[in-house]
Amino acid sequence: MLDKTRQDWRSLAADLNIESRAFIDGQYQDAHSGETRATINPANGETLADVANCGVQDADRAVEIARATFESGVWSAMAPGDRKNVLVRWSELIEEHADEIALLECLDVGKPIADTTGVDVPSAVRTIRWSGEAIDKVYDQISPTPADCLALVQRLPLGVVAAIVPWNFPLSTTAWKLAPSLATGNSVILKPASNTPLSALRIAGLATEAGLPDGVLQVLPGPGGSLGRHLALHPDIDGLTFTGSTEVGKQLMQYSGQSNLKRTFLELGGKSPNIVFADANLEKAAALAAVAVFYNGGQTCTAGTRLIVENSIKEKFVEMVVAKSRDWMPGDPLDPATAMGPMIDAAQLKTVADYVDVGREEGASLMFGGKQVLADLGGCYHEPTIFDGVNNGMRIAQEEIFGPVMSVIGFKDAEEAVAIANDSIYGLAGAVWSNNINTAHKVAAAVRVGTMGINNYFGGDITVPFGGFKQSGNGRDKSMHAFDDYTELKTTWIEFDQDD
């Protein structure tokens, strides 16, 4: 894939046939209202497609179809081994269309083509294949009852599930939601982010081609504040799975309480600590500190935005990170050499610029970056930016910026490093760097986050669960633990008649 040049990708982009209709009951179709909304390429501001803008009528119809399909048993009662075959075939079809889907994701999100070909598409393929392959290896339980009883403890699908996903990892988060919810037998309605609906729409058609029965999966693009809210309040949806901001996550919990107490699982924001001790492999730690915050333009829930460094090496280490940051100057996402693309849109670019002003006003020292660049390309590009001299009480250390902005904070000993790391409303991810196994393990155990790296950042794969402590959420994506979010436990207690 990376044998292609920027020109090759440009030619492929010019020939792309983009599917822009909603996907309901196994068919692509327009929104009931006929309305559309433009999806924009953040690299140059050009319209990629006018996408169906679904509303409450589309949602009600999709729920009705999903409910009927669930009750029919065509998928929910299908043998797990047969569901496996469909999901594995689906993963193969996505792989066969890898270049096309990677290109869609690159254009729609502004992600570098090297990332969409190397990370997003392979990760979605693996997630769907892995969940499919796992589902016919899951056993239920028989409890330890007296001899005249038999008690079955089974996991059954929730029913109709709504999945609402964000714009920063549209394909990956879609796969993280769809793979386990479909594997466990649910019918699903996915609402992609308004900015980035294209990859989800494309893979929905491939699911039908793989043998997924009509009506099991619907993809409805449309506004979160009306369509998303309607789904979250819907009395006939049994489960809601969400990835997005903590602010919207809090609203969704309320919608659940105001409607039918639908099971609601949330993957939310973060302000992750990346702790570096003086005895670490500093060369590797500096390179990964830059990856941790500049990958995907910092528009990553697990971004290591708080670099917490032992005072004795802080000055030297910041110089090393600044040197690494020069590799992250933004560029055209279609160029295979580009490491960082644009921000998703002008609003996000403004948020980043405003936080840079806040950092300056709070008295932090700007060590690198701090400006919008490449405005002539028509996109929303921002330099990788590093603030030193940050105090953990500052807004730039407490609030999720969701851009390429790093805050460097010093510490004197392990106790102080842990206290700073835990002084956050979030608890999604983090890392610690030390060549002393005792220090590394003690600190990793004490930091209250869902995923902690030791001498790595962004470590992990589909075999491990992913989710947050505190206000970073409550559910778990990935691994077999994700199956728990999409199933209910059912007990069947049987008593035998001793007279027979």
Q: Tell me if 191 contacts ligand NAP by CB under 6 A.
A: yes
Cα separation, 450 vs 242, whole angstroms: 17
Q: Tell me if 471 contacts ligand NAP by CB under 6 A.
A: no
Closest to 406 (Cα-Cα) out of 429, 384, 381: 384
Residues in the chain: 500
SS3 378: coil
Q: Tell me if 245 contacts ligand NAP by CB under 6 A.
A: yes
Q: How far is the CB of 251 from ligand NAP (least distance, A)?
A: 5
Q: How far is the CB of 399 from ligand NAP (least distance, A)?
A: 11
Q: Tell me if 228 contacts ligand NAP by CB under 6 A.
A: yes
**Looking at 118, 213, 224, 465, which residue binds ligand NAP (CB under 6 A)?**
224
What the block records as the tokens of 497 is: 């008649």
**Looking at 184, 243, 305, 471, which residue binds ligand NAP (CB under 6 A)?**
243
Which of 19, 100, 105, 267 does the annotation list as catalytic? 267
Cα separation, 498 vs 203, whole angstroms: 55
Quote the strand ranges of 114-171, DSSP E.
141-142, 149-157, 160-164
Q: Tell me if 244 contacts ligand NAP by CB under 6 A.
A: yes
- Scanning 20-28, 103-111, 190-198, 489-497 for contacts with ligand NAP by CB under 6 A, the matching segment is 190-198
Nearest to ligand NAP of 245, 455 (CB atom): 245
Q: Are 376 and 328 within 8 A, CB to CB?
A: no
Q: Are 39 and 107 within 8 A, CB to CB?
A: no
Closest to 190 (Cα-Cα) out of 211, 210, 212, 498: 212
- Scanning 207-215, 218-226, 333-341, 487-495 for contacts with ligand NAP by CB under 6 A, the matching segment is 218-226
Q: Are 86 and 131 within 8 A, CB to CB?
A: no
CA distances (Å), origin 157, targets 154, 216, 263: 10, 13, 12
Q: How far is CA 274 from the centre of its chain?
A: 20
Q: Tell me if 108 contacts ligand NAP by CB under 6 A.
A: no
- Scanning 46-54, 243-251, 308-316, 388-396 for contacts with ligand NAP by CB under 6 A, the matching segment is 243-251
Q: Tell me if 171 contacts ligand NAP by CB under 6 A.
A: no
Q: How far is the CB of 298 from ligand NAP (least distance, A)?
A: 10
- Scanning 118-126, 262-270, 283-291, 377-385 for contacts with ligand NAP by CB under 6 A, the matching segment is 262-270
Q: Tell me if 296 contacts ligand NAP by CB under 6 A.
A: no
Q: Is 488 labeled as catalytic in the residue annotation?
A: no
**Looking at 26, 132, 166, 239, which residue binds ligand NAP (CB under 6 A)?**
166
Cα separation, 263 vs 485, whole angstroms: 8
The residue nearest ligand NAP at its CB is 224
Residue with tokens 């209202």: 33
* DSSP codes, 416-477: HHHHHHH-SSEESEEEEE-S-HHHHHHHHHHS--SEEEES-SS---TTS-B--EETTBS--B
Q: Tell me if 269 contacts ligand NAP by CB under 6 A.
A: yes
Quote the strand ranges of 54-170, DSSP E.
141-142, 149-157, 160-164
Q: Tell me if 383 contacts ligand NAP by CB under 6 A.
A: no
**Looking at 24, 43, 134, 164, which residue binds ligand NAP (CB under 6 A)?**
164
Q: Tell me if 430 contacts ligand NAP by CB under 6 A.
A: no
* DSSP codes, 283-329: HHHHHHHHHHHHGGGG--TT---EEEEEGGGHHHHHHHHHHHHGGG-
Q: Tell me if 248 contacts ligand NAP by CB under 6 A.
A: yes
Q: Are 200 and 28 within 8 A, CB to CB?
A: no
- For the beta carbon of residue 393, count every other beta carbon within 10 angstroms: 9
Binding-site size, ligand NAP (CB under 6 A):
33
Q: Tell me if 251 contacts ligand NAP by CB under 6 A.
A: yes
Q: Is 301 labeled as catalytic in the residue annotation?
A: yes
Which of 105, 301, 380, 400 does the annotation list as catalytic? 301
**Looking at 75, 90, 130, 169, which residue binds ligand NAP (CB under 6 A)?**
169
Residue numbers annotated as active site: 267, 301
Residues lying near ligand NAP in the complex (CB under 6 A) are found at 164-169, 173, 191, 193-195, 223-225, 228-229, 232, 243-245, 248, 251, 267-270, 301, 400, 402, 428, 468, 472-473
